[in-house]
């Protein structure tokens, strides 16, 4: 079974996925975003480097999820990303119609060969909170981006979650502070079980 924790940059995906996986004794799968050789170039020039960045992320994510297919069949895997994010970012960043169509075709092939999430946990947050967290963690390449871009990504995530067809949970991160109150992981696990067992 695959449980996915998703949300905009700065929402707390990795932190929440780690805490939830530890509580549930699940296998943890974290996005290896630093393996994308084009990420820093993208932040320097998002328009000029979108093609290689988005296609690389799709294949990196595909490879990571495919490698956990067996574990997801045998037990529970908690991941802090899913391929849906790649489609979301491609729609935002790939302005060329032909490239976007090619990306969607590759995405369709990849999604067929990766585990389907049993549950999508969406960490919803205001853009102000996201920008505050992004500044606090001081990843230099993230700080170079206009905060308005994060607003666009956040809006795209809200739209993506609204139309996501599978089982899902929305967690309001402006109200849930897992760092200050670790007991929230138990509450999240209970909500997750309730959604997973819902007919």
pLDDT in tens, the chain (199 residues): 999 999 998 999 999 999 999 999 999 999 998 899 998 898 888 889 999 999 999 999 999 999 999 999 999 999 999 999 999 999 999 999 999 999 999 999 999 999 999 999 999 999 999 888 887 777 766 656 777 888 999 999 999 999 999 999 999 999 999 999 999 999 999 999 999 998 7
Full-model pTM: 0.91
Q: What is the pLDDT of residue 144?
A: 66
Ordered by start, the domain boundaries in the chain are: 2-196
**Residues ≥6 apart with Cβ < 8 Å to 102:** none
Of 93, 107, 84, nearest in space to 5 by CA: 84
List, as one string, the DSSP characters of the chain: -EEEEEESTTS-HHHHHHHHHHHHTPEEE---GGG-TTHHHHHH-TTTTHHHHHHHHHHHHHHHHHHTHHHHHHS-EEES--THHHHHHHHHH---HHHHHHHHHHHHHHHHTSPPEEEEEEEE--HHHHHHHHHHHT-HHHHTS-HHHHHHHHHHHHHHHHH--S-EEEEETTT--TTT-TTHHHHHHHHHHHHHT--
**Topology at the third CATH level for domain 2-196:** Rossmann fold (3.40.50)
């Amino acid at each position: 079974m695959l449980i996915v924790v998703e949300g905009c940059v700065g929402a707390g995906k990795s932190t929440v996925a780690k805490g939830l996986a530890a509580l549930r004794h699940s296998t943890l799968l974290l996005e290896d975003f630093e393996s994308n050789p084009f990420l820093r170039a993208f932040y320097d020039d998002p328009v000029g480097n979108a093609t290689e960045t988005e296609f690389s992320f799709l294949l990196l994510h595909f490879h990571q999820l495919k490698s956990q297919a067996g574990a997801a069949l045998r037990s529970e895997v908690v991941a802090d990303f899913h391929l849906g994010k790649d489609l979301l970012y491609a729609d935002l960043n790939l302005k060329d119609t032909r490239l976007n169509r090619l990306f969607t075709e590759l995405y369709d092939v990849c999604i067929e060969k990766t585990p389907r999430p049993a549950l999508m946990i969406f960490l919803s947050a205001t853009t102000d909170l996201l920008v505050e967290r992004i500044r606090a963690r001081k990843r230099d390449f993230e700080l170079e981006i206009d905060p308005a871009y994060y607003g666009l990504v956040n809006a795209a995530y809200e739209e993506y979650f609204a139309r996501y067809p599978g089982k899902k949970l929305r967690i309001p991160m402006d109200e849930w502070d897992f760092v200050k109150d670790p007991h929230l992981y138990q509450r999240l696990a209970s909500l997750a079980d309730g959604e997973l067992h819902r007919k």
